[in-house]
Structure 1
Amino acid sequence: MRFDQQFLEDIRNRVSLSDVVGRRVTWDRRKSQPGKGDFWACCPFHSEKSPSFHVDERRNRYKCFGCGESGDHFKFLMETEGLSFPEAVEELASSAGISLPAPDPQAAFKAAKRNSLTDICEMAVRYFQQVLQSPAGRSAQEYVQRRGLSAETLSEFQFGFAPPGRDNLKTALLAKDVTEAELVEVGLLIKPEDGRPSYDRFRNRLMIPIHDERGRAVAFGGRTMDPDGQPKYLNSPETPIFHKGTMLFNVHRARKPAFDAGQAIVVEGYMDAIALSQVGIKGTVASLGTAFTEDQILRLWKFSDEPVICFDGDVAGISAAHRAVDRILPALTSGKSFQFAFLPDGQDPDDVINAGGVSAMYAEIERALPLSEVVWQRETSQARIDTPERKAALEKAVEDLVGTIKDERIQKRYRMDLRLKLSNLFYEESRRNRGPAQKGGGGGGWRNNKQGGDEDRASTARMEAPDTPAYGVERSFCTMCLMFPELFERHFERISQLTYSNELHSMFMTALVRIATDLAEGTVTQIYNKLDERFYKILQEAIVSSRPDEDSSKASTLQRWDTLTNRLQILKEDPPEDFVEHLFLNYADMLELRMLEMELEHETRAMEENLTEESWSRFQALKQDLTRRREDCLRDEQELAERGTKMKLNKAAMRG
């Protein structure tokens, strides 16, 4: 339906924007001035510590001066609740007490037709529910009891049962003045082309309705109750109201909990989604038997910046994840990605919950791998790199994959990250070939490494003892530049001007700056063969730090002082982006502070040889600047420490 601007303006004028936005934020009382229609809050679209999100009721607009998000009433509902534009208009018009305009005849016909088909689906829902509660539904009742589904869950998800027989549903709905043609159109009947009578699509199946974003039943999923029945799960076909490629199971229930928690979970089947919802993981949706589509990806990003795709860890689950990767990469944009949690082989979410409770499921979700790691594993886990030609083939495959990313900034970051990893992989291969005395870990992937790979990497990553007072700050900063390439790129100009007291750190950062500058030129071999071999020591330290612990018993043997996440324990708490950037910039400030101290020492020596009014003024200015910068650094350190403590306490409370 199309709406004219006057109608939309009437809604904006009748519904307070601060009331709409106020559902999602807490206004800052010190900064807001309600009398002037001026409201401030922390942004609901990104993590921040001070209010930069502004609502101007006089203009009916909102804008975040931190992340740039802006819009009006309708866009806010679309972004925070996952509504389409017509749905947002309809909800706000209802709040304002304004009737929707009469649609044009053609649109009215389509809407009436859609409503008619959803009404038929709702009638089928009620029929299946009644059969489940009857003696005819005994086998299905026993099955849901074995699955541990509560009465509340059965009611919430509207479970039903399609009894055996060719035309039970057909007979029941024809008696309610539903036509055979309508039942065929909505996918509940199958009409043979040879002229035989139509028959029920779903027979002897536990029935689960599939709803659209507005909570209307539009299709069904049915699980066979016959031990030998095939297929095990059967979905409705594509119909005028059901499009598998644009829909997600449970989306109408999950979107608000997912947005509120900042975490959306995607599982393979609707029984998985129901199992997680029953134990309190409400922000869970399921795919509907098709590969991920761009529509589904964009929909999920409205609920969470990095939804977690939770698949079985068997061959089929990993293959499904790898297919999803190809769909996701072209759609990547700043701040939007996916994570992947692979459950233990042979287990689904229900198995994990039954074995270890909801805490075990949360633990699996927390171990989710970022998209970039899944890309790396897929491309390298089976790759052979024992000849120049095979190295070149792997590099080309990686480059081709990165080339599918449409966002140039994201593409550049992926290219740098993957080239660094390829360089390390090729370096380790060359070390292996030099003899047993210098044997190193494989480095080819995150899951199927040979026993001992972590220890080999740990050995390679061990560094010499600190030799300068700023060693720890410099090492942490070097490694953070690798682990957080978006920060390296964002603050590149500042980073390129820094100096380091340790010669290894100076060499490393000089090389990293040159790599970033020459990124578009040459192959991995051409660029990295020219690097000092010591470059790889820090590179491997970052790789060890960024890889998840796969074996807690082994992890205790890898607690080295020089691994970044052991030195900066707060990084293990998955801190928000603004905290990581604050920490990163605090290290840069400390390095600049050391540069300023050296400059002051130089100026002091110069004055001892030749004191002039100009040198004295320069000395005084440097001294004042140094004092101010020291105070700023100390204040930032204290603030980071306080936030870090609160973060750990909150995480501990959630786990408890």
Structure 2
Amino acid sequence: MRQIPEEFVETLRQRVDIIDVVGDYVQLRRSGRSYVGLCPFHNERSPSFSVSPERQMYYCFGCGAGGTVIRFVMDIEGLTFTETVVRLAERANVQLPESLEETMPSQSETDRYQAMRDAHELAAKYYSYILMNSSAGVQALTYLENRGISKTTMVEFRLGFAPNTERRLVDFLRKRGFASELLVDSGLAVALGNQVVDRFRNRVMIPICDGRGQVVAFGGRAMQKEAKPKYLNSPETPLFHKSSVLFNLHAAKRSIRQTQTAVIFEGYMDVISAWQAGLKSGVASMGTSLTEEHVRLLKRYSDRLTVAYDGDEAGQRATHKVLSLARDAHLECRVVQFPEGMDPDDFAREFGAPAFVRQFQVQALTEVQFLIQGLRREANLESPAGRTAYIRKALTVLGERASPIERDEELQKLSQEFHLSLDALHQELKMLAKDSQRRTTHKVVAQNAVVNPNLVSADVRAGNHILQSLLLYPETYDWLLEHEVMELPLAQQTALLARLYAYRAECPEGSPVRFVETLEDTELRKLAASLAVGDAAGFDPALLTDCVRSLRLQELENRYRNKLQELVEAQLAGESEHVLACRQEVEDLQTEITRLKTPHA
């Protein structure tokens, strides 16, 4: 991804105006030195999305999305870094460098990939024609209609049928100039001895598209219950990698952005039934486990995910895995459950579209509710020990993952059901969840530090100003090193400081845009983008001195409190020598704190 010459990327940055690019997706209006509009990455009524033409960066003060023009196109279109650079170069009419072309597939490889894409496109049209316009497709058409799939939906998903013949597709594509070897490599055909035959036969065909909506693979659904396997998918090919492709994402991403929620199903038919019922934000991992790459892909479009897997035991296990992946990626999760033995497609057909959509609108469980429900199913509530174990496990979940409102609601339920006082439950929860609450508080403080400076302490605001100055004004680098500023109040701030030091050491005059593009960590990129688009008065040593003073003062006050506690403990223990040493340190700290608090000290 980073093999593109930096000189070329810098030239591209200068030729592409972020206002023009973002303006294609967002209605912007000028507000002071910046432009504002409604954020395209989450639903909002009041504009919190800010774009700075001066610094060529954007930041949303509502959801935290931020970065450069390259990051904007990557996230809004779901493209890779290289794909985005190529697209922007075409937009700006900038010639791609030879070195970039060398890192990309050769012309022969590019032609081969394109031939594979063309073959898949023709195959999709062929299968669709067989389903809709031939006697060979009547059985499959009847099968789909019996499953409640309308012809409109069939057309929208480009459904088709592969007839039960050995070489019908192969012969069709050969006549159009496609070599047998290419058809095998692309997954459309299989080599059996000296023969090349169709991979898919007597199956309903479901095209699988990449992020741009181009067909790269197929899923073949058997119509007979006894047929094995029920689903036959294309193999891994140069075009298709199961771990990085989600069925229907190309069509669902607009709805995902609008609703700010992606819905993950297990199978194709679940997605298709949901679409027909009016739920347009559904995707599927095509019978394989959801991967970290899938989750990162979904996170480009939304920070919320609804899991709608089958109601059987396997579906429950798979849901737990998705919740774990989503939690690691900081995605908010909901779970929609269906009666055991039913999948979403079954439910939609049996109870109808309104009931299906209602499951998502009204019956969705939070992650906490789903986990507690699972604990309850496994618990032995008949015995006192079983009840106690269940309550403690439920409290652990509440302490680690519940919001204050949800925690209070679930505690009320536990209190009423098991006749326990709320005080007792709160005490137990406090003991079990202490560490988790500390981590959550730290994370909230870090997020508030970039969104609303008035909600955080003076030392955190000072840390943000130091970072902003180092990001925007290169001369800050030498000043900070001279004053030995190596740590800031929040771990996230210190991590960004280290990255900025390394960047300034390598690129003393490097632009903020270039730095932000190097950040792979989402939270660090959001923090940097928020600082880049914020108001700044220039390199100001006097203000930086005040910031360093504030940091030093906070550090000393923390040490003072700790040393005072140590003094009290030494006095209670009767350790006279330790008391004298602590008393002297307390006095020294008091003197230094007073000096720093004195103006112009």
TM-score, normalized by length of structure 1? 0.57
Does residue 363 of the first structure (1) align with residue 358 of the second (2)? yes
* Distance (whole Å) between structure 2 residues aligned to residue 176 and residue 311 of structure 1: 41
Does residue 155 of the first structure (1) align with residue 155 of the second (2)? yes
| Partner in structure 2 of residue 337 of structure 1 | 332
| Partner in structure 1 of residue 122 of structure 2 | 123
Does residue 441 of the first structure (1) align with residue 417 of the second (2)? yes
Deviations 1:422-449 (A, max 9, x none): 9999x87xxxxxxxxxxx636xxxxxxx
Which runs of structure 2 are paired with 1:50-65 in the superposition (5 Å)? 51-65=47-61
Q: 2:216 aligns with which of 215, 218, 221?
A: 218
Does residue 22 of the first structure (1) align with residue 23 of the second (2)? yes
| Partner in structure 2 of residue 317 of structure 1 | 315
SS in 1 for 2:293: helix
| One-letter amino acid matched to 2:183 | L
1:285: how far off?
1.0
Structure 1 residues 28 and 396, CA, compared in 2 at 3 Å: closer, same or farther?
same
1:266: how far off?
1.6
* Distance (whole Å) between structure 2 residues aligned to residue 413 and residue 151 of structure 1: 44
Structure 1 gaps of 5+ residues are: 403-409, 429-439, 443-456, 462-503, 522-656
1:350: how far off?
4.2
| Partner in structure 2 of residue 165 of structure 1 | 165
| One-letter amino acid matched to 1:135 | S
* Distance (whole Å) between structure 2 residues aligned to residue 395 and residue 118 of structure 1: 56
* Distance (whole Å) between structure 2 residues aligned to residue 155 and residue 49 of structure 1: 35
| One-letter amino acid matched to 2:75 | E
Structure 2 gaps of 5+ residues are: 438-601
Which runs of structure 2 are paired with 1:88-487 in the superposition (5 Å)? 88-102=84-98, 103-105=100-102, 107-109=104-106, 110-132=109-131, 133-192=133-192, 195=193, 197-329=195-327, 331-333=328-330, 336-354=331-349, 357-366=352-361, 367-384=363-380, 413=401, 441=417
CA contact (8 A) 1:204 1:224 kept: yes
* Distance (whole Å) between structure 1 residues aligned to residue 411 and residue 143 of structure 2: 53
1:39: how far off?
0.8
* Distance (whole Å) between structure 2 residues aligned to residue 168 and residue 323 of structure 1: 41
| One-letter amino acid matched to 1:108 | P
1:81: how far off?
3.3
Which runs of structure 2 are paired with 1:538-557 in the superposition (5 Å)? none
1:260: how far off?
1.8
CA contact (8 A) 2:219 2:232 kept: yes
Deviations 1:494-538 (A, max 9, x none): xxxxxxxxxx9xx799959964894479xxxxxxxxxxxxxxxxx
1:328: how far off?
3.4
1:99: how far off?
4.7
1:128: how far off?
1.7
Deviations 1:459-493 (A, max 9, x none): x79xxxxxxxxxxxxxxxxxxxxxxxxxxxxxxxx
Structure 1 residues 59 and 270, CA, compared in 2 at 3 Å: closer, same or farther?
same
Structure 1 residues 149 and 90, CA, compared in 2 at 3 Å: closer, same or farther?
farther
SS in 2 for 1:3: coil
- Of stretches 48-57 and 357-366 in structure 1, the one that deviates more from structure 2 is 48-57
Deviations 1:321-355 (A, max 9, x none): 234334434x242xx22211112444444444445
Query: RMSD of the alignment, in Å?
Result: 4.0
1:162: how far off?
0.9
Does residue 81 of the first structure (1) align with residue 80 of the second (2)? no
Structure 1 residues 147 and 413, CA, compared in 2 at 3 Å: closer, same or farther?
closer
| One-letter amino acid matched to 2:168 | N
Deviations 1:96-149 (A, max 9, x none): 344544544463235444333222222322322232222222212222333343
SS in 2 for 1:178: coil
Structure 1 residues 359 and 88, CA, compared in 2 at 3 Å: closer, same or farther?
farther
Higher RCO (C-alpha 8 Å, min separation 6): 2
1:57: how far off?
0.8
TM-score, normalized by length of structure 2? 0.62
For these two proteins, the number of residue pairs brought into alignment is 431
* Distance (whole Å) between structure 1 residues aligned to residue 152 and residue 29 of structure 2: 39
* Distance (whole Å) between structure 2 residues aligned to residue 128 and residue 212 of structure 1: 19
Structure 1 residues 413 and 345, CA, compared in 2 at 3 Å: closer, same or farther?
closer
User: Percent sequence identity over matched residues?
Assistant: 36
| Partner in structure 2 of residue 551 of structure 1 | none
1:372: how far off?
2.5
| Partner in structure 2 of residue 432 of structure 1 | none
* Distance (whole Å) between structure 2 residues aligned to residue 64 and residue 415 of structure 1: 24
